[in-house]
Amino acid sequence: MVISVCLLLLLLIGGSAATTSIRTYGTVEVHENVPVGTTIVSVQEQGAKFYLLNLSGFERRYFEVQRGGSVVVREPIDREEFLQSKRCFDRSHCLLELHILVDDGQQYVVIPVHIVE
């Protein structure tokens, strides 16, 4: 009995050490029509590779992660267009999320973005 409990505990510890760490940032407010190239947040990881995931099909059109981990605006953001095309999770606040994979899956970063007028 003790051996089976120890083996189960060992499996749980080993499985949790091999999983991806998930980090959620606080909500970032971005004004619509912010200039292209504006940095909205920096993910501070030295020497890391960053991949912006395209979950809803538009994230990579409007945002990009630069080599140092800065998330910048690629195209002008129109809040009303986002609302009409249902890209926002909440219509009253126009909230969306950016999902960034760091170092081939070792970390996963979620950044909530609130588009304001």
For residues 49 and 95, give the distance between their C-alpha atoms in angstroms, rounded to a whole number. Answer: 26
How much is the pLDDT for 10? Answer: 46
In contact, 96 and 110? CB cutoff 8 Å: no
Segment 11-66, tens digit of pLDDT: 444 554 556 788 899 999 999 899 999 999 998 776 788 999 988 888 899 999 99
Place of tokens 């120890």: 6
Of 83 and 4, the structure prediction assigns the larger pLDDT to 83
Closest of 96, 97, 87, 103 to residue 51, by C-alpha: 103
Segment 68-108, tens digit of pLDDT: 889 999 999 999 988 888 888 777 788 999 999 988 778 89
Pairing of strands 70-73, 95-102: unpaired
Closest of 116, 60, 64, 54 to residue 90, by C-alpha: 116
In contact, 53 and 101? CB cutoff 8 Å: yes
Place of tokens 């605006």: 73
For residues 111 and 59, give the distance between their C-alpha atoms in angstroms, rounded to a whole number. Answer: 12
For residues 38 and 66, give the distance between their C-alpha atoms in angstroms, rounded to a whole number. Answer: 12
